[in-house]
Structure 1
Amino acid sequence: MSHQKKQITIGLLWHSVSSDNLGVGALTESQIAICQAAARTADVEVRYIIFGTAGGKNYLPKDVHIIIGSRISIKQMIKGQSAFLKELEACDFVLDIGEGDSFADIYGIKRYLFLIVSKLAVLFKGKPLILSPQTIGPFDYWFTRWIATFVMKRCKRVFARDGLSSAYLLRCGVVDNADEVVDVAFRLPFTQSKHGESNKVHIGLNVSGLLYSGGYTENNQFGLTLNYQALIQDLIQYWTIDPNNQVWLIPHVIPDDLPVEDDRKAIAQLALVFPTVKAAPSFNSPSEAKSFISGMDFVTGARMHACIAAFSSGVAVVPLAYSRKFNGLFSSLNYAWVADGKVTDTQTAFSKIIDGFNQRAALKKEIEFGNQIAHARLQTYENYLVTCMRAV
């Protein structure tokens, strides 16, 4: 007689299996992988309802029961016509990952309102709300910080993905239900790859179209203290002088309808100037991107999840930070090889990246220890999910 497993429904808030931002997709793929592992331990079957932004991709994992939830509309909620609210009623609990770093007010009040109202909706429906590992804040206005703190204190659990976010939670008075783990993308599945000639040194340069454009305002929106375009060009110039190097330009945000953010647009411009570089393909999924990155000998980049893909697959990497999320995450893994684009000038960042490239064997050893920390922290998160599943 076959064993009948208990079936539960988990809402995945601010996740996506179609986003053109492969960082958001990496969080979703990884979250589902962790949940599936927890479900096996808890001996339950899970159905997922995904609520979040949509894009032009489709990387639905196989053999997983997933429903794409309705669009989150504040206007429909006010009118009492929200399908999102009705679908929440089917969830046993909700995991909200906030697209990694969107639970803040630095991206504007409109975006903040969507994030906060959706959380309030979950609490209004009486569903346990768990903030999955993410960057918390900053909230620069007193009223955004007050509302965010009000919500977080009423969550079942709040998981920070780095030490800076943990410290921020402490300053907000969110203590009793808070914990620090690490970004779930350290568990993103991948297939180890190799690229062409084994006698070449394969260098992956993840180019951020957003930073190359100067941000959404196209006027150094993120307050970089360096010249990003000049840094990228200087690195390519340096590496391509040596015929033993093969430089790959790697995109990680690939929207067809938002050219200012499209990494491929910046890569195409650079490929015209530097004809010996190779452009990586437009990946169909975050796992495909990570698999490609795993074949590099060295990586640098300003898309955090491209850097996590390198780190978690054992590739020497020097991330280029444009916000505190980089510094907080990698310092929590005792990894100091980060070039800070909001503190250093162009030459200092260039030197840090080249030093990391030249010491890549030593970096790999540090990364090995860092991955052990990440694995242990994500096991803590997975164990918590097992407890939640068994409690349903």
Structure 2
Amino acid sequence: MLKRLRVGLLWHSLRAGNLGVGALTLGNIAIIREVAASAGVDVEFVVLSMRESSTDPIAEGIEQYEIDTRRLFSPDGFRAKVDTLDCVIDIGAGDSFADIYGAKRFAFLYLTKKFAVDRGKPLILAPQTIGPFTRQPYRWLASRIMRRAECVVARDEQSLAAIEELAPSARSALAVDVAFKLPFDDQSSDCTGRKYRIGINASGLLCRQAESGENRFGLSFDYLALHRRLIDHFSSRDDCEVFLVTHANSAGDTGDDDGTRADRLSREFPAVTRVPDFAGPSQAKSFISSLDFLVAGRMHACIAAFSSETPVIPISYSRKFSGLFGLLEYPWLTPVTGWDEDEAFNYIVKSFEELAAMKEAEGAALQRVDEMLAAYRDTLSSLFQRLPGQAG
């Protein structure tokens, strides 16, 4: 008889407009189910997330519990839900366990972790970006919770170094982003013998930063101006067709909405194709697999391309890009600082002539992904075998 475990998936999502969080969720579910099956365990998932506007879940038959301030602090809210679980696996929405998103977001990330371990639930921080934590009290609080976790798994070497600096006694491991295991329908063979299919993913967030001049992430070039140049360049070539691809949609915040920006750019450049918003991350990855080349500002649009062996140029806006793609030995990306607009544009155009080398590098890295996830799988397996659970 199989042992049954109720597993809380903290800071995952079934309804996020940002498909990157959905990709993490589905990828992690696939990994956890595979590990559980090998350990003779049946798992039941409860996704624990912020309140979300989207109503259509990306997976059926999984409970989702939405957290707000009242539920976080109410005795019959979040903590009562945690009491029904056997363990908590927290992915931090990929990169939110940091101090760069403000005090309120950090408070939610920290307190949900704290309440879980306070209730005696084993907490695993699944592969994610850890930090940066540049000031107090963030550094002290992050250190404290990492030391109390079952294991903290970094998805790049810079994050692993942050764990070792802040919480050297914490159990830590290095893996790769779980979204590499996101299921998809490979469409690469459906579009052969035609023009080059060029995808442009213009991040609504970064375009707004460029327009406002705020530049919170410190890019050394005008992000929106670069994308206009790229669209104009590739759409004017007789051997290319350009597709505007969205990967984060926010009905409540048009400034963070790739779709709103794609609509504007498609009116400005009527020769391009504005791809309809995707129903979920697997559908986005399936379409991206049909492209010959993608330029993307959303991290998980880049991962979708890379893991479907579509040559991609990530437009970095934080160290999570250099950390991940450095781990994969993939050098084709723009840096956050140090380049002006001309340098970034010329680099991307030149890289388009290196598609074969880019694809070869992706293929070589993908052969190592399972090996790179081994430490995370082992951590899950050890915990699942140790927990008593319920008779299935």
Q: Deviations for 1:59-108, whole angstroms, at most 9, x for unmatched residues?
A: 3424xx521124243x5554x43421111111111100000000011110
Shift of 1:381: 1.7
Deviation per CA, 1:8-45: give whole Å up to 9, x if none.
11010011000001011111111111111112111211
Identity of aligned residues (%): 39
Indicate the SS of the match to 2:153: strand
Which residue number in structure 2 is paired with residue 187 of structure 1?
181
Alpha-carbon distance between aligned partners in 2 of 1:340 and 1:361, rounded to the nearest angstrom: 22
1:343 CA displacement = 2.8
CA distance in 1, matches of 2:338, 2:115: 39
- Whether the aligned pair in 1 keeps the contact of 2:146 and 2:170 (CA below 8 Å) is no
CA distance in 2 between counterparts of 1:94 and 1:357 reads: 43
- Residue 38 (structure 2) aligns with: 41
Q: For residue 368 of structure 2, give the secondary structure of its aligned residue in structure 1.
A: helix
1:71 has 2:67 as partner: yes
Equivalent of 1:205 in 169, 175, 200: 200
Partner of 1:241: 236
- Aligned partners of 2:192 and 2:365: how far apart in 1? 29
The amino acid of 1:185's aligned partner reads: A
Between the aligned partners of 2:272 and 2:192, the Cα distance in structure 1 is 14
1:59 is aligned, of 48, 57, 62, to 57
SS in 1 for 2:215: coil
Q: Matches of 1:203 and 1:363 in 2, distance apart?
A: 15
* TM-score (structure 1 length as normaliser): 0.94
Quote how far apart the aligned CAs of 1:341 are. 3.3
Contact 2:198 / 2:293 at 8 angstroms: preserved in 1?
Answer: yes
Q: CA deviation at 1:295?
A: 0.6
8 Å contact from structure 1 (residues 9, 92) kept in 2: yes
Q: How far apart are 1:323 and its partner, in Å? A: 0.6
Mapped pair 1:5 → 2:8 = no
Compared CA separation, residues 268 and 248, structure 1 to 2 (3 A): same
Q: Which structure 2 residues correspond to residues 281-296 of structure 1 after superposition, within 5 A? A: 281-296=276-291
- Superposed, 1:1-392 pairs within 5 Å as 4-53=1-50, 54-62=52-60, 65-73=61-69, 75-78=70-73, 80-194=74-188, 198-214=193-209, 219-392=214-387
Q: Structure 1 stretches (4+) deviating beyond 4 angstroms?
A: 75-78, 194-197, 215-218
Distance in 2 (alpha carbons) for counterparts of 1:61 and 1:77? 25
Instruction: Give, in whole Å, the separation in 1 of the partners of 2:43 and 2:210.
Output: 39
User: What is the distance in 2 between the residues matched to 1:23 and 1:57?
Assistant: 17
**What RMSD over aligned residues (CA atoms) do the two structures have, in Å?**
1.7
The answer to whether the 8 Å contact 1:72/1:118 transfers is no
CA distance in 2, matches of 1:315, 1:202: 11
Give me the whole-angstrom Cα distance separating, in 2, the residues matched to 1:159 and 1:31: 13
Q: TM-score scaled to structure 2, two decimals?
A: 0.94
Residue ranges of structure 1 left out of the alignment (5+ in a row): none
Task: Tell me the number of residue pairs that the alignment of Structure 1 and Structure 2 aligns.
Answer: 385
- Could you say if the C-alpha distance between residues 76 and 368 of structure 1 is closer, same or farther in structure 2, counting changes exceeding 3 Å? closer
